[in-house]
Amino acid sequence: MPLVEVEKLNVWMAAGGREVHAVQDASLTLEPGGQLAIVGESGSGKSTLLMALMGLLPPNATVSGRVIVDGVDVLEGPEQALAALRWRTVSMVFQASSNPLNPVRTIGHQLRQVLVFHGLPSAEARDRARELLEMVRLPAATEHYYPHQLSGGMRQRAVIALALACRPKLLLADEPTTALDPIVQAEIVELILSLKKSLGLALVLVSHDLALVRRMEGDLAVMLGGKIVEYGPLARLMAKPGHEHLRTLIAALPDFGEAGRDKVAAPGGGS
């Protein structure tokens, strides 16, 4: 049975008297331990789709279709099941700049708080918190630090540790590296991929940056204007892109070889 099943999902957002069809007839599946990259530009509906997987849509949203995550009907099932699904089965890593950490608590405190809230005795929570920091390759002393004392990359590692606290089966990452430096970006993606492998997580990674996700395995969904315009195994699509939009994205990938030289400068520079 697939872990995630999205069938003909539609999301409409009401804004200022208009209605935007933010996600149009999206269908996806993800097996346990699988990987899915969703690539699209701002406004393409990729974040809305991701939020729908957790049932985290705003009050101005109306939806139709079916979203089943780990056997729970996210859109229509009982609310308790949905509440239990969040964080325990599915957890989420947001954009680096959104910074979901509490500024006045140490990293260790925040980790333990989550663990205790989800029913771990405090002594065990202490050990588990250390284990989590080690997993995301943060020094043990990070426990005693406040978020502002960490660099952007370290903060994002702490956020990942927090997301993994309850041993979820599915990790959703929404632009997890935007606003970070290129080297730190690569490190964070590598960390997520290696954790995915060692913990057997299923992973959905949303990004506007094809360069970032092209090292992933599994499936790729390309969104444009609310529609999934391309969906299939990532390796196959990268080799044989069908849709024009994906072809443009692939053409824009950084390539520091001879061939790439005049790709950007050409259009207006020739005259």
Window 106-135: residues binding another protein (CB under 8 A): none
CA distance 239 to 214: 11
Q: What's the start-to-end Cα distance of the chain, in Å? A: 59
**Binding segment toward another protein, per CB under 8 A, in 105-113, 116-124, 166-174, 253-261:** 253-261
Q: Which of residues 140-169 bind another protein (CB under 8 A)?
A: 151-152
- Smallest separation, CB 123 to another protein (Å): 28
**Smallest gap from residue 121 Cβ to another protein (A):** 27
List the one residue out of 246, 271, 236, 258 whose CA is nearest residue 41: 246
Residue 270's SS3 state is: coil
Phi, psi of 186 (to 5 degrees): -60, -40
Please say which residue, 2 or 43, places its beta carbon nearer to another protein. 43
* x/- letters, 166..185, toward another protein (CB under 8 A): ---------------xxxxx
One of 104, 198, 239, 259 touching another protein (CB under 8 A): 198
Residues 210 to 239 in contact with another protein, rule: CB under 8 A: 210-212, 214-215, 224-225
Q: How far is the CB of 83 from another protein (least distance, A)?
A: 5
Specify whether the CB–CB gap between 53 and 74 falls below 8 A. Answer: yes
Radius of gyration of the chain (CA): 20
By CB under 8 A, the residues from 7 to 66 that bind another protein are 8, 10-13, 15-16, 18, 20-22, 24-25, 41-44, 55, 57-59, 61-65
How far, in Å, are 133, 141, 188, 225 from residue 108 at the CA level? 9, 9, 20, 41
Q: How distant is the alpha carbon of residue 232 from its chain centre?
A: 18
Nearer residue to another protein within complex by CB, 34 or 55: 55
Q: Name the DSSP letter for residue 204.
A: E
The minimum distance between CB 119 and another protein, in angstroms, equals: 19
- Closest to another protein by CB, 101 or 249: 249
DSSP assignment string, 228-242: EEEEEEHHHHHHS--
Q: Given the complex with another protein, which of 44 and 110 has the nearer CB atom? A: 44
CB nearer to another protein: give 62 or 149: 62
Question: Residue 71 or 182: which CB sits closer to another protein?
Answer: 182
Q: Which of 1, 104, 259, 265 binds another protein (CB under 8 A)?
A: 265
For another protein, which is the closer residue by CB, 61 or 235? 61
Tokens of 37: 């990259």
Residue spans of beta strands (DSSP E) within the chain:
4-15, 18-30, 35-40, 61-69, 72-73, 90-93, 170-174, 202-207, 219-224, 227-233
Interface size with another protein, residues (CB under 8 A): 73
